Chain A
């Protein structure tokens, strides 16, 4: 069973479109995250949710909107896609948000905006 699964794995879309990436974890964790990895492999946190509540919201354009219908799911919706949004997006989860536990990552979604 996949612990953290995100779909789709690849997403190619045109500028201006709206797209969503879904993420689900079956680990029973309380905390979920979205990270962005750019072309230079640099990882940056975008959002963090703890029990469906937003706890970290880094400086990202408000075209990015996370939604957590329950603590096992954290989806990422992106409006009006731009070329600069092209990256790999990782979903992750951890047992809680205290910082002393490792995060488990999904396989990533490679988003290409053309």
Chain B
């Protein structure tokens, strides 16, 4: 069965440190999509990135970067020079086809605490 594992339940770092959030997934499909979402303390879920299984190019967006490696089934997320506002729960998710429909399978989330 498809599965998304975020082994780090909670990470705490001091502001300005770099931090990497791990995501490992399992799927039998060749076509699938990976996502990262952010859930700040206010509770809403904010989309960060989508990556399809055919595009292994890493992506950088400001202080955020993502490293997709199919060989290790990982889609890790790095925040460079972390800031207090980065404190949130971060979710990795996998979308693949099931019974002709797509479903998002969510990881358990990693709570990131950035201390001033």
Contacts and interface: CB of A to CB of B under 8 A. Distances in A.
Give the secondary structure class of B's interface: strand
Contacts of A103: 47, 104
A102 B50 contact: yes
A101 B60 CA distance: 19
Interface residues of B, number: 24
A90 interface: yes
B87 interface: no
Interface residues on A, range: 20 to 34
A81 interface: no
Contact of A97 (B45, B89, B101, B109): B101
A78 to B, nearest CB: 20
B109 A41 contact: yes
Contact of B102 (A41, A88, A99, A106): A99
Contact of B101 (A56, A102, A108): A56
Interface in A54-84: 55-56
Interface in A99-114: 99-108, 110
B103 interface: yes
Contact of B43 (A42, A98, A104, A107): A107
A98 to B, nearest CB: 6
B108 A100 contact: no
Interface of A: 40-45, 48, 55-56, 88, 90, 92, 97-108, 110
